[in-house]
Amino acid sequence: MLDVPVSDLLKVRLNRRTDDAVVIEIYLRYPTSLLTGIPADRTPLPVLIAEHDVPAATVIVERINSQIVATQRIDMSVPDLTPPAPAWGKTGPTRADVDRAVRRMAPRRDARAAIADLHRLVAPEEFALEVAMVTAEPPTPRGRGLLAVTTGRLMFLSAGPGARHTYEMPVAALLSARLTDDSGSTGEYGVDVTDGNMTLHFTGVDRADTDRVVGALTFAIQRESADGAVSPPDPGVSQLYSEWELLVERHSLGMVDDAQFQRYGRGILRSLPD
């Protein structure tokens, strides 16, 4: 009898042996797990299946593998990011998440128009994280503006005189954000954002604001790329190779007999990622 949590399983496969028997092979994540009272040594547990039960067994294998993948998904601990419903007034919509982000920012009179635009531009499915007043440099249109980070986008809303414009990039297209303080200027704090091909440059005048924007954008990027994704196989190729090296060494020293060496060695090879 095998009684282990799904998280202790590596994979399950339907296989036909050389004697033409059909088996469900259950691979355990750890070589020390016990099968019939002895360590599994990466050897799968075979469950014999009748030929007429193969369709049902195929469904069972798919469901178990789906549960195994579910245990490997990355679940980030995040605050409540439910987008608030906007309140409508004479000047248009007002969002509570935008208001909170603005209150954390150092007050800037020239930000009022851009803030009003941000209330209208944040999409219903987005949550506004942080904002900061910055100066944009090429390739972004040059000038002063509001740099805003939502769960879905990075936006630069111009705040200077003349026609206002907005520059935006989806978080899913970005790789990283970092602080790049300009050592040649006092009181200026750089922010670089890259998508792997192009780097956007912004300069803020309040370190706390730029810190929060970079932190928020890093969080949004990680949330977009990692949350819900499947973590790398465990054990991976490097771990299995290390086990193989140790097995060979122990076999050469006479610590492992030929039968166990062949059994464990085959188990390692069959445990490699498909």
Q: Which two tokens stand for residue 175?
A: 């790789």
Instruction: Report domain extents, the chain.
Output: 6-73+232-271, 87-228
| Percent share of the chain, pLDDT over 90 | 41
- Residue 234 confidence (pLDDT): 67
Q: Say whether pTM exceeds 0.75.
A: no
Look at the chain and count its residues: 274
- Residue 55 confidence (pLDDT): 92
Question: What are residue 168's DSSP bridge partners?
Answer: 155
Residue 229 neighbours by CB distance under 10 Å: 12
For 162-168, the CB contacts below 8 A with 24+ separation are 164/113, 164/114, 164/117, 165/141, 166/117, 166/121, 167/136, 167/140, 167/141
What is the average pLDDT value for the chain, to the nearest integer? 85
**131 or 36, which is more confident?**
131
Q: Which helix (H) or strand (E) holds 128?
A: strand 128-137
- Residue 163 confidence (pLDDT): 72
Nearest to 263 by CA among 31, 49, 12, 48: 31
DSSP 145-196: EEEEEESSEEEEEE-SSSS--EEEEEGGG--EEEE---TTSTT-EEEEEE-S
**Residue 143 main-chain phi, psi, to 5 deg:** 140, 175
d(CA 238, CA 156): 44
> pLDDT-derived band of residue 251, with 50, 70 and 90 as boundaries?
confident
**258 or 29, which is more confident?**
258
| Percent share of the chain, pLDDT over 70 | 88
Q: What is the mean pLDDT of residues 76-94?
A: 83
**Residue 157 main-chain phi, psi, to 5 deg:** -110, 115
pLDDT tens digits, one per residue of 49-75: 998 999 999 999 999 988 888 877 766
Pick the CATH number of 87-228 from 2.30.29.30, 3.30.360.10, 3.40.190.10, 1.20.810.10: 2.30.29.30
> 136 in helix, strand or coil?
strand
Q: What is the mean pLDDT of residues 183-209?
A: 85
Query: Does the pLDDT of residue 148 top 90, yes or no?
Result: yes
Distances, alpha carbon 244 to alpha carbons 118, 249, 251, in Å: 57, 9, 10
- Residue 178 confidence (pLDDT): 92
Q: What is the mean pLDDT of residues 130-155?
A: 92
**Residue 64 main-chain phi, psi, to 5 deg:** -65, -45
Query: Does the pLDDT of residue 183 top 60, yes or no?
Result: no
Alpha helix segments (H runs only) across the chain:
54-72, 96-104, 112-121, 207-226, 237-252, 258-271
Residue 214 neighbours by CB distance under 10 Å: 24
Q: What is the mean pLDDT of residues 180-206?
A: 83
- Residue 164 confidence (pLDDT): 81
- Residue 77 confidence (pLDDT): 63
- Residue 236 confidence (pLDDT): 75
> pLDDT-derived band of residue 26, with 50, 70 and 90 as boundaries?
confident
Residue 125 neighbours by CB distance under 10 Å: 9
